[in-house]
Amino acid sequence: MARREETEQEAGASPPAHRPTLGVGMVGYAFMGAAHSQGWRTAGHVFDLPVRPALAAICGRDRTAVEAAAARHGWAAAETDWRALIARDDVDLVDKCTPGDSHAEIAIAALEAGKHVLCEKPLANTVAEAEAMAEAAARAAARGQVAIAGFNYRKVPALTYARSLIADGRLGTLRHVRATYLQDWLVDPLSPLTWRLKREHAGSGALGDLGAHIVDLAQYLAGEPLVGVSAVSETFVRERPLLAGDGAGLSGTADSAARGAVTVDDAALFTGRLASGALASFEATRMAAGRKNALRLEINGQLGSIAFDLERLNELSFHDHTEPATTAGFRRILVTEPEHPYLEAWWPPGHGLGYEHTFVHQARDVVRTITEKTAPVPSFADGLQVQRVLAAVEESAAKNSVHTPVPF
């Protein structure tokens, strides 16, 4: 870590000067790059951290675009070669925000160069890549380096709190996990063929993009792994217009007439079994008209249930089944008290947080993990476990692609 002390001039009015810095180098500057930038920029201002994240350099292939991103998001320098970014003395941690096809190569190179790594989800495009990353992370851990997978929704205070309720036994033995993640940005068949729709770049479609989140959350909240799955998936729109320009956002602008093949799923539905025997169901789709970012979870146990909806992320519904039936029922907990996870540093009760705060919490946790030398969570091993589930889902969906008629 750069033990360079920042000067008053560099630090500005806040956060407090003379704190050592953790130099961050980010690869990628589109949607996730912008979200992670906000996290790194804000964490040291909101949380009382022993070292302050310093936005050392950002990297992208297009010089003009990456310089614009550096200026917009507050990065001190811009690089066009990720190897040069990793080699910089002022970079202690490499944050990977590019498509999955480059995760393994860059993350492993960064770890071997002695840097800490934060890598966006899904950890990789294949199990083999994720295994190589987990092995590199284990070798690096022995040298005191940290490798963390970017499952940011674990950092929603209501979900972190739900995890503690479940770990404390408030739900008793778990019976059901029900998880859906619904978006609608591919409903329009003329929405163009971005990298997210190409297997060679994204690995899979809604499954890896959205399913990875709910698989991770199910395992994180339940505190146990999925041990078997059965799946169906579909690509409803098999050809889409080619992209005009680089299409950094979700959908981008379509070119005129030319079409290309969509090589990933639009939707994946699967059921599974957790190690304890609880049953789980999952639905990940970008074809749910009207649903923008609807991540919903319900978990039922012998003693109670919790329910969560990302579109109302400051709330957690909790039903305590040990209460008299006449008064029991789901009640809404507003997760904005200073005693709730991460809330001690934010606004007074009821003032609420949003999507971007998950990235601030992620940055805070990465810094604390490095400085307090605690085990990284979620680790690359956790990311690998999710990758194995995604691969099992794809395998099962491939077998189920021929519909077996059900006799009446």
Residue number with CB closer to ligand SOE (171 or 310):
310
Q: What is the DSSP string of 62-111?
A: -HHHHHHHHHHHT-SEEES-HHHHHH-TT-SEEEE-S-GGGHHHHHHHHH
8 Å CB contact between 315 and 349: no
From residue 236 to residue 275, the character string flagging contacts with ligand SOE as x (rule: CB under 6 A) and all else as - is --------------x-------------------------
Token digits of residue 225: 């792994």
Contact call for residue 95 and ligand SOE (CB under 6 A): no
CB 31 → ligand SOE: shortest distance, Å? Answer: 6
Q: Which of 319, 321, 320, 295 is nearest to 308 (CA)?
A: 295
Q: Which residues neighbour 395 within 8 Å (Cβ) at sequence distance 6 or greater?
A: none
Query: Is 194 a residue that touches ligand SOE (CB under 6 A)?
Result: no
CA atoms within 13 A on the CB side of 249: 9
Distance, C-alpha 366 to centroid of its chain: 14
> Would you call 4 helix, strand, or coil by DSSP?
coil
Residue of closest CB approach to ligand SOE: 209
Full DSSP string of 11-49: H-SSS-SS-BEEEEEEE--SHHHHHHHHHHHHHHHHS--
Sheet holding 93-96, edge to edge: 77-79, 52-59, 21-27, 93-96, 116-120, 147-150
Closest residue by Cα to residue 316 from 142, 196, 164, 152? 164
Of residues 233, 270, 286, the one with CA closest to residue 401:
233
Give the total of residues touching ligand SOE (CB under 6 A): 6
Residue 189 CB, shortest distance to ligand SOE, in Å, is 18
Q: Which is nearer to ligand SOE, 253 or 322 (CB)?
A: 253
CB-wise, 250 or 279, nearer to ligand SOE? Answer: 250
* Sequence-separated (6 or more) residues with CB below 8 Å from residue 79: 25, 57, 58, 59, 66, 85, 88
Least separation in angstroms between residue 221's CB and ligand SOE is: 17
400 Cβ contact list (under 8 Å, min separation 6): 230, 231, 232
State the minimum distance, in angstroms, from the CB of residue 106 to ligand SOE.
18
Rule CB under 6 A: say whether 183 interacts with ligand SOE: yes
Task: Report the residue from 209, 298, 365, 382 that binds ligand SOE according to the rule CB under 6 A.
Answer: 209
31 part of the interface to ligand SOE, by CB under 6 A? yes
What is the signed CA dihedral for 206, 157, 30, 287, rounded to 10 degrees? 30
**Least Å distance between CB 284 and ligand SOE?**
10
Query: Least Å distance between CB 201 and ligand SOE?
Result: 13
What 8-state DSSP symbol labels residue 374?
A: P
Pick the closer one to ligand SOE by CB: 205 or 301.
Answer: 205
What would the two tokens of residue 13 be? Answer: 């009015």
Q: Per rule CB under 6 A, is residue 131 in the interface with ligand SOE?
A: no
Contacts of residue 377, defined as CB under 8 A and 6 or more positions apart, other chains included, come to 148, 365, 369
Which stretches of the chain bind ligand SOE, using CB under 6 A?
Answer: 31, 183, 209-210, 250, 293
